[in-house]
């Protein structure tokens, strides 16, 4: 299929010769054939024109959950990949939190085959330990050969320090990335929200930032001893930013991400006990939120994630303490970030992360494979449950007005555009 993006403004801060320029982009057989002020389309060319059309390199999300296998009622792999593509994402890193938990090469092969060609490219992570039980290492080497991009016990802390030490040492033999969830379970205990004024007022059990910071400090000490590559997903506190900043100054190979909702909300939104705001790690204070935003601006925090997690209504429409953790996020990512940072910084944040997960970085250049996100950064857009493409509807952003609108994405010869 031939595709022509007509009069598209290119946002690419790393390519100043094109950044901010309006160009036609002609795509032929999955590659960028020509970028010019005007291109006359050949026969059988799909011409894409949209109001104030902007394009950037394809976006990536480093922490996405769907459901299949085991929880197809939440979201199937095929439909989830399509939702991601319509939300502007060309690549998503899939969390290992299905049933069964992917801890063998066969599990990774199943995910890759099932999701292939359905939308955004889905890159599965494998469990770090068998069944994510935190006892024995999984078949990491075999899963890496089968296509796993990293290893992670999703939202489950590595409680045994020696196990993390062994994992980091073992992973170096095949250049694997290890993830460690930043939470000390003994301190977090049965808490559900940030420990502070709000938790006290609402009578909810709290999780202090200390639980996150102690775990990160331990992990960084182990990393300094072992070497290897460590990624700390979804940090939420100002202390975490400071710890990781110091580790980077030492030259440790550590990266981290922050969930977009921790950049936007604070725990004060919990006043109505809306379970869509129940996430892990929890929403924290305005001081933490500002530290996280600053950490992104100065480069201590490497990437953002929607931490997208579809959940059945039956698991959300219950008492707050009993409700499942998680919120949708893919479809609102651009609008929320654009409302906070503006389009240039938003695109920079959404295009970070490919290299860390061993994925080829897209480029807007003639001859390169096509991986493009399409959007309009201007205007207000109201997020409603009715507008959500996801199967589940547990979005903490429903009813929020954000800046900008995503049109979709183009990956290879596949075009995914919202109506």
* Catalytic positions, written as ranges: 307
- 2-55+365-381+402-417: CATH homologous superfamily? Urease, subunit C, domain 1 (2.30.40.10)
Question: What are 246-252's contacts with CB under 8 Å, separation 24+?
Answer: 247/220, 247/223, 248/300, 250/224, 252/220, 252/223, 252/224
Residue 60: what pLDDT? 98
Q: What is the pLDDT of residues 77-101, one digit of tens each?
A: 999 999 999 999 999 999 999 999 9
Phi/psi class of residue 95: alpha, beta or left (left: φ > 0; alpha: ψ in -120 to 50)? beta
User: Where does residue 201 rank: exposed (0-12), middle (13-18), buried (19+ CB within 10 A)?
Assistant: exposed
Q: What is the pLDDT of residues 45-66, one digit of tens each?
A: 999 999 999 999 999 999 999 9
Residue 92: what pLDDT? 98
Residue 1: what pLDDT? 77
User: What residue ranges of the chain have pLDDT lower than 70?
Assistant: none
User: b/e map of 105-137 (b: 16 or more CB within 10 Å)?
Assistant: bebbebbbeebeebbbbbbbbbbbbbebebeeb
Helix (H, G, I), strand (E, B) or coil at 137: strand
d(CA 259, CA 126): 20
Domain boundaries, the chain: 2-55+365-381+402-417, 58-357
d(CA 254, CA 232): 7
Residue with tokens 């997020």: 383
CATH number, span 58-357: 3.20.20.140
Task: Tell me the longest C-alpha to C-alpha distance in the chain.
Answer: 66
Q: Model pTM? A: 0.97
Phi/psi class of residue 280: alpha, beta or left (left: φ > 0; alpha: ψ in -120 to 50)? beta
Residue 394: phi and psi, rounded to 5, are -80, 70
Helix (H, G, I), strand (E, B) or coil at 232: strand
Nearest to 305 by CA among 255, 212, 407, 234: 234
> C-alpha angle 216/220/225, rounded to 5°?
150
Q: Are 262 and 236 in contact (CB under 8 A)?
A: yes
């Amino acid at each position: 299929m031939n595709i022509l993006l007509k009069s598209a403004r290119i946002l690419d801060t790393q390519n100043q010769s094109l950044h901010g320029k309006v160009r036609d982009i002609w795509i032929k057989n999955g590659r960028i054939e020509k970028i010019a002020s005007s291109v006359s389309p050949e026969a059988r060319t799909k011409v894409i024109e949209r109001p104030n059309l902007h394009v950037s390199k394809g976006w990536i999300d480093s922490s996405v959950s769907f459901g299949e296998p085991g929880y197809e009622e939440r979201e199937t792999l095929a439909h989830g990949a399509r939702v991601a593509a319509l939300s502007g994402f060309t690549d998503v890193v899939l969390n290992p939190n299905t049933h069964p938990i992917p801890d063998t090469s066969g599990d990774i092969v199943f995910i890759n085959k099932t999701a292939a060609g359905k939308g955004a490219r889905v890159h599965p992570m494998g469990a770090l330990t068998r069944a994510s039980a935190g006892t024995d290492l999984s078949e990491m080497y075999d899963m890496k050969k089968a296509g796993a991009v990293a290893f992670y016990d999703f939202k489950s802390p590595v409680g045994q320090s020696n196990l993390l030490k062994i994992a980091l040492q073992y992973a170096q033999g095949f250049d694997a990335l290890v993830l460690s969830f930043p939470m000390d379970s003994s301190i977090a205990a049965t808490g559900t929200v940030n420990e502070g004024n709000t938790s006290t007022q609402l009578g909810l059990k709290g999780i202090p930032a200390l639980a996150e910071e102690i775990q990160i400090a331990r992990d960084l000490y182990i990393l300094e001893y072992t070497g290897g590559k460590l990624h700390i997903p979804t940090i939420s506190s100002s202390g975490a930013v400071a710890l990781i900043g110091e580790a980077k100054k030492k030259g440790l190979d550590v990266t981290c991400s922050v969930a977009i909702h921790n950049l936007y909300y604070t725990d004060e939104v919990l006043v109505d006990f809306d379970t869509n705001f129940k996430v892990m790690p929890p929403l924290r204070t305005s001081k933490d939120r500002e530290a996280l935003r600053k950490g992104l601006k100065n480069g201590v925090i490497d990437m953002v994630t929607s931490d997208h997690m579809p959940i059945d209504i039956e698991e959300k429409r219950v008492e707050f303490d009993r409700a499942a953790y998680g919120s949708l996020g893919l479809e609102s990512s651009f609008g929320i970030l654009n409302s906070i940072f503006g389009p240039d910084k938003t695109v920079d944040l959404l295009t970070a992360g490919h290299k860390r997960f061993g994925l080829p970085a897209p480029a807007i250049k003639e001859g390169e494979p096509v991986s493009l996100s399409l959007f309009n950064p201007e205007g207000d857009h109201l997020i409603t449950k009715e507008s959500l493409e996801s199967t589940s509807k547990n979005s903490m952003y429903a009813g929020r007005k954000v800046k900008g609108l995503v049109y979709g994405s183009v990956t290879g010869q596949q075009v995914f555009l919202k109506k």
